[in-house]
Structure 1
Amino acid sequence: MYSSVGGDPAGIADDKAHYQGGKPYKNFNATRNDRGMWWVGVKNKDMGQDPGAGACNRKPFWVDAGKDPGAPEAVNTKTLADLAYQRTRVPDAEVELKPANRSTVNLPTWIWLDKARFKEVTVRAELPGTGLWAETIAKPVGLHLDPGTDDAETYPASGECAINDDDSIGTPYAKGDSDQTPPCGVRYLRATAGQPYQLRASVTWEVTWRGAGKTGGDLTNGTFETTKDMDVQEIQSINR
């Protein structure tokens, strides 16, 4: 692996002669952190006799602040992006329902997700003294509904509820909306018989990253699911 170094640690002094006289650097002692830093190959003792350990033998080399070292196994902005990705935590995929947990055959269940919980999440990772940094941006891109039975219809028909302009999903149920079609929801066509339907709501988060030196790219999207038990009853009526 490679690591950044400051000052003149043991092992570096012996190589100074290699850099004097302007080949390949005119000023070996240019170690100001705001301008850059020297990097050197360091063998990982934990690798034991691993042949890969022997590849970390490059002489000290200069890297300007904020630039990737460009050496195999060296920490770079993509490494930091992966670290930030591991530390990214998004809110639970908790949705609101009306009616909640209990519905009636042919009566739409309204489903929505509060915009206060459904917002972009950013995590940053840095390598001190090098000017190297990267941050991940996790952005919610949609909600998928699976009613848990074929005897149901979703709204919209695809089951994919899009994000509204205000970053919310769906529309909260309001009094008097029982005869309306929800923009995001489900309608059960058959009552449950002892066992509730398992309504699954999956939120997909699109994850990208950006870093020092105008680096960046896409990372693996994340999908997080919540399950609701839905009891569905028949409409009771009396015939005379």
Structure 2
Amino acid sequence: MTTARHTPRWAAALAAAAVLWSAGTAYADDVPGGTTTPPPDSPKGGSHGQDIYASATHSQIKVTYVKGNGGGKKGNLGAVDPNWEPPACWYEPVFSPEALKRFVDESDGDGDVGIHQSWFGKELWTDHYRDGKADDNMDTNWTSAPGYKNYNIGKDGYFWRSVAPDDTDPKSWDCGLIMFWQDAGQIPKVPHAPTAKTLADYAYDKIKVPDTEIELKPETKSTVNLPTWVWLDKGTFQEVKVRAELPNTGLWAETTAKPVALHLNPGTDDAETSPASGDCKINDDGSIGTPYKTGDADKTPPCGITYLRATNGKPYQLKASVTWQITWEGTGGTGGDLPDGTFETTQDMNVQEIQSVNR
């Protein structure tokens, strides 16, 4: 009987016979953007102890928050560069020879050999990784992947597998090799092999910064044609540093986010900002702007807003966004800059007609 090893997900329900295998089933997405959906009883998860599952959406990268992980509300940065995005896929070591054999023996071989290819059935795994039978990669040319003898037991190294945090991302198809061997102490010479920069980008996507809760004077209601002072006390915003390490590779990177500016958007065209650009720089001591003092009502604040028209039952939406400068350093003295990030919050701003002012 002729059987198919690679079967489009969307066709599985219409052509179930095409995925039959004497001891298992191989599932493969056939169109970028498809998803790999295992049978309902197949295992998913990490790779620790008895829970060694081959799941290509779970990375082994270890993330540590080195600095700036205190309490309070936090959120993820948005990159200023709209073209920047975290890596869609890469390869990483997941199984030693012994761990792969144990996985096959204990789980019946139900798991992923690539981002868009799942094998369900022990014989699919033993054919390729134990008995030396070649199989197909899912790269551009559907190249042949040579098989292995006895899971490479006795050799020093790891089986590497592609990983994609989001397997619906079309770019995740760029990592089309099925799980392959690499000797210990070496990074594979294949496209999309991990680098320190890969880990720096990965860490960028994990950075969480504090909410932008600015100080205002007046606090609850501004007055037409009188400046509202805006400031942030020193220490409110500090550097955030995230470390990413890929086990069994020697690769690491630390990505640091440093606040450099506060941008104010009054929420209406009937307002003026100070400075005119709305960009309030970070002072040398880490503060932003200058706190309001009695007698400052008629002065122009170094950071502030002057509303020219009162609200009429509906408050203006004052937006405050902090720009964070992103740098990284990593394995072997590597490092550099990444696109600036921003984090924005919105708060109600009521404005009244002038009546009286406490100075």
1:197, 1:2 → 2: CA distance?
A: 49
Residue 155 in structure 1 maps to residue 274 in structure 2: yes
Q: CA deviation at 1:142?
A: 0.8
Q: Any idea what SS the aligned residue of 1:60 has? A: strand
Q: Counterparts in 2 of 1:149-188, with a 5 A limit?
A: 149-188=268-307
Q: In structure 2, what is the equivalent of residue 106 of structure 1?
A: 225
Residue 216 in structure 1 maps to residue 216 in structure 2: no
Q: In structure 1, what is the equivalent of residue 244 of structure 2?
A: 125
- Report if the CA contact (8 A) 1:69-1:76 is conserved: no
- Report if the CA contact (8 A) 1:39-1:63 is conserved: no
Give the TM-score normalised by structure 2: 0.51
Q: In structure 2, what is the equivalent of residue 197 of structure 1?
A: 316
Evaluate the alpha carbon distance shift between residue 54 and residue 178 of structure 1 in structure 2; reply closer, same or farther with a 3 A threshold.
closer
Q: CA deviation at 1:130?
A: 3.1
Evaluate the alpha carbon distance shift between residue 186 and residue 56 of structure 1 in structure 2; reply closer, same or farther with a 3 A threshold.
same
Out of 175, 179, 185, which is 1:63 matched to? 185
Residue 145 in structure 1 maps to residue 267 in structure 2: no
Out of 177, 196, 199, which is 1:80 matched to? 199
Query: RMSD between aligned alpha carbons?
Result: 3.2
Evaluate the alpha carbon distance shift between residue 4 and residue 73 of structure 1 in structure 2; reply closer, same or farther with a 3 A threshold.
farther
Evaluate the alpha carbon distance shift between residue 5 and residue 56 of structure 1 in structure 2; reply closer, same or farther with a 3 A threshold.
closer
Q: In structure 1, what is the equivalent of residue 208 of structure 2?
A: 89
- Report if the CA contact (8 A) 2:98-2:151 is conserved: no
Q: After superposition, what is the alpha-carbon deviation per residue over 1:77-118, rounded to whole angstroms, capped at 9, x for unaligned? A: 233223322321101111110001301111110001122121
Q: CA deviation at 1:165?
A: 0.8
User: How many residues end up aligned between the 2 structures?
Assistant: 211
Evaluate the alpha carbon distance shift between residue 78 and residue 122 of structure 1 in structure 2; reply closer, same or farther with a 3 A threshold.
same
User: Which blocks of at least 5 consecutive residues in structure 1 are unaligned?
Assistant: 17-27, 32-37
Q: After superposition, what is the alpha-carbon deviation per residue over 1:117-136, rounded to whole angstroms, capped at 9, x for unaligned? A: 21110010112343211111
- Report if the CA contact (8 A) 1:101-1:228 is conserved: no
Evaluate the alpha carbon distance shift between residue 51 and residue 225 of structure 1 in structure 2; reply closer, same or farther with a 3 A threshold.
closer
Q: CA deviation at 1:168?
A: 1.2
- Report if the CA contact (8 A) 1:2-1:39 is conserved: no
| Worse overlay, 68-77 or 152-161 | 68-77
Q: In structure 2, what is the equivalent of residue 3 of structure 1?
A: 93
Q: Any idea what SS the aligned residue of 2:208 has? A: coil
Q: CA deviation at 1:153?
A: 1.1
Q: Which amino acid in structure 2 is aligned with residue 172 of structure 1?
A: P
- Report if the CA contact (8 A) 1:80-1:133 is conserved: yes
Evaluate the alpha carbon distance shift between residue 100 and residue 187 of structure 1 in structure 2; reply closer, same or farther with a 3 A threshold.
same
Evaluate the alpha carbon distance shift between residue 176 and residue 52 of structure 1 in structure 2; reply closer, same or farther with a 3 A threshold.
closer
- Report if the CA contact (8 A) 1:190-1:232 is conserved: yes
Q: Which amino acid in structure 1 is aligned with residue 182 of structure 2?
A: P
Q: Which amino acid in structure 1 is aligned with residue 208 of structure 2?
A: R
Q: CA deviation at 1:72?
A: 2.7
Q: Any idea what SS the aligned residue of 2:198 has? A: helix
Q: Counterparts in 2 of 1:45-60, with a 5 A limit?
A: 53-54=176-177, 57=180, 60=182
Out of 109, 116, 121, which is 2:235 matched to? 116
1:171, 1:233 → 2: CA distance?
A: 23
2:176, 2:276 → 1: CA distance?
A: 56
1:158, 1:203 → 2: CA distance?
A: 14
1:5, 1:142 → 2: CA distance?
A: 45
User: Which blocks of at least 5 consecutive residues in structure 2 are unaligned?
Assistant: 1-90, 102-128, 130-147, 168-172
1:51, 1:162 → 2: CA distance?
A: 41
1:42, 1:155 → 2: CA distance?
A: 53
